[in-house]
Chains A and B, each alone.
Chain A
Amino acid sequence: TQLLEQSPQFLSIQEGENLTVYCNSSSVFSSLQWYRQEPGEGPVLLVTVVTGGEVKKLKRLTFQFGDARKDSSLHITAAQPGDTGLYLCAGAAIKLWGSQGNLIFGKGTKLSVKP
């Protein structure tokens, strides 16, 4: 069974601080996605990384896919209260035949950014 371990589970910081969220697995994924979920809503995709070593930036958010495609990180620079939410990583499983049919989600990191 493929698992994605996210850390930390909870993070409470002050506005302006930097933070990094990690997503680790012993399995290789064909791609990895990061979602953000706000209370009362479904997750919304932030980014997809596909190539080992790939780095993508979305304003103050930097996403990296590990060289071996087993792990990923999300770094937020100068966090704002608007960044508050649940951050989820999700890996696309690899199968040797057909298409994989599902994404495996980490348990999420609940981020709170205080003004």
Chain B
Amino acid sequence: EAQVTQNPRYLITVTGKKLTVTCSQNMNHEYMSWYRQDPGLGLRQIYYSMNVEVTDKGDVPEGYKVSRKEKRNFPLILESPSPNQTSLYFCASSLSMGLGRKNEKLFFGSGTQLSVL
């Protein structure tokens, strides 16, 4: 089954304790992205990757790191989490993100609810 898998689904941690949220897709997609979703602010892009070893900042990259060493995996790293990073996080992937093409459909994972105390 084609899917984007995020882990963990729920995570409670304390300020400053490094954490990684994993994301894996089984569709051989080139494009992957991380979003955070907050009430009243909607979905905001953190980082995205057009392909292996190609990553770029989204709208809210501060406090986050990503890597794309393999096509299927795109982990999100919080080196020193802070309470303002408490949020619902989504990983998404797409075959590509070409200009105006109809195959720009994003497949989303089920989300990771992160609480930083």
A42-B92, A107-B40 in contact; A48/B105 too (CB < 8 A)? yes
Write the chain A residue with the least CB distance to B35. A105
CA distance A35 to B50 in the complex (A): 22
Specify which chain A residues have a CB less than 8 angstroms from the CB of B110 in the assembled complex: 40-42
Chain B, Cβ-Cβ closest to A1: B59
List of A residues within 8 angstroms of B48 by Cβ: 101-102
Nearest CB of chain B from residue A41's CB, rounded to whole Å = 6
A25 CB to closest chain B CB (Å) equals 14
Return the CB mask of B1-44 against A: 1 if under 8 Å, else 0.
00010000000000000000000000000010101000011111
Interface residues on B, range: 20 to 34
Decide if B106 touches A45 in the complex (CB within 8 Å). yes
- In angstroms, Cα B45 to Cα A103, docked, is 8
Chain B residues lying within 8 Å of A108, measured Cβ to Cβ, are 42-43
Question: Which residues of B does A touch, CB under 8 Å?
Answer: 4, 31, 33, 35, 40-45, 48, 50, 56, 58, 90, 92, 96-102, 104-106, 108-111
8 additional A-B pairs beyond A45-B106, A48-B102, A105-B43, beta carbons within 8 Å, are A30-B100, A41-B111, A92-B100, A99-B98, A99-B99, A103-B104, A105-B44, A107-B42
Can you list 22 A-B pairs with a CB-CB distance of less than 8 A?
A: A31-B102, A33-B104, A33-B106, A35-B106, A42-B4, A43-B43, A43-B108, A48-B102, A48-B104, A50-B102, A90-B106, A99-B50, A99-B97, A99-B99, A100-B99, A101-B48, A101-B56, A103-B97, A105-B35, A105-B44, A107-B40, A107-B42
Which positions in A face B, CB cutoff 8 Å? 30-31, 33, 35, 40-45, 48, 50, 88, 90, 92, 94-95, 99-103, 105-108
